[in-house]
Amino acid sequence: MFSKKLLIGAVSVVLLAASGISQAADPIVFKMGFTDPENSNYVAGGKKIASEVARLTDNRINIEVYGSSALGGERDMYEGAQIGTIDIATCVNVVLSGFIPELKILDQPFLFDSVEQAHTVIDGELGKLVERKGLEQGVHIVGWLESGFRNVYSRKPITKVEDFKGVKIRTMENPVQIAAFNSLGAIASPMAYAEHFTALQQGTIDAAENAVSNVLAGRLYELTKNVTYTNHLYTFIAVLFSDKAWQKIPEDLRPKVLEGVRLGVAFQRDLLLKANSDAVVELKKLGVQFHEIDREAILKQVKPAVAPLFKDLNPVWVKAIEDAKKK
């Protein structure tokens, strides 16, 4: 014999079914990967995206964030997203241009004069062009975090162009970076981000380049006591869903996911500026020296060396950048 409570429960289920109302489905869970350390502002940006998406979708979409290359390197994650084995990948534009050749337009040294100018470009028509290319490759590029201007950190001080001679420097796996540093007399050593701390420990390389905040977050100050303000490149970090993951998101929730990404991106960009500023203060306390350098002298050597790599730029993409920089 049914108890009174069981009978009421059974009747409730029948009534819900009859009215077309179903019980709440289990949340959709995605994994999001970063190559950066867990304590970095980039991973913090990813976690902000996750919290905003959860809030806006009433926890129907949950994102688990993994740092320190737990889901693989950037190329690995992008390729995984293409075939659906990675849900959400993050990939710097310098690596992404290996998949979307037109994007190498952003690899040009000294392309931007300010943070605001860089944001205007990537959040405008150029960003839309990249998104369309991503869709052709089975990924949905939904936003752009960033590591901003990149600088050089090294064992020995680099204060003039001549100081680059013979320096073994880790670069991203990108032909422009390789050609640029080789033109300065350095020895470019392309490798995945996760490998370069060990390479510095073992003396395989003498220097590397990235945002100042990475020197602190990655504890690179233990191995390199010099930072040179080259500001040679502005780096964006694409946030992208695999098509397999994107199709799991109900259509009514997709705008909310995009809004969550937008809020997380804005949070990370502000956090990066503060992280870089705070990092300089902390790194100086840890004995790191900061050096200025003649950027025009660098560009004078780098520009002719990389020019052949940019002779076939897509004119539509060139115009998108030029128009945005005029705003």
CATH number of the domain at 43, please.
3.40.190.170
15 within domain boundaries: no
As a whole-number percent, the residues of the chain with pLDDT over 90 amount to 85
pLDDT at residue 163 tops 80: yes
8 within domain boundaries: no
Closest by Cα among 61, 30, 60 to 239 = 30
20 within domain boundaries: no
The confidence score (pLDDT) of residue 24 equals 57
Q: Which domain holds residue 63?
A: 26-325
- Cα angle vertex 19, ends 15, 24, to 5°? 85
The confidence score (pLDDT) of residue 136 equals 97
6 within domain boundaries: no
DSSP secondary structure string for all residues of 233-281: EEEEEEEEEEHHHHHHS-GGGHHHHHHHHHHHHHHHHHHHHHHHHHHHH
The confidence score (pLDDT) of residue 192 equals 85
* Dihedral angle sign, alpha carbons of residues 148, 242, 62, 248: positive
Structural domains in the chain (count): 1
222 within domain boundaries: yes
**Lowest mean per-residue pLDDT among 114-123, 212-221, 252-261, 281-290:** 212-221
Q: Collect all residues with Cβ–Cβ distance below 8 Å to 292 and sequence separation of at least 6.
A: 159, 228, 229
12 within domain boundaries: no
**Lowest mean per-residue pLDDT among 81-85, 173-177, 265-269:** 173-177
| Model confidence, pTM | 0.83
100 within domain boundaries: yes
215 within domain boundaries: yes
CA distances 304 to 145, 180, 203, Å, are 30, 9, 30
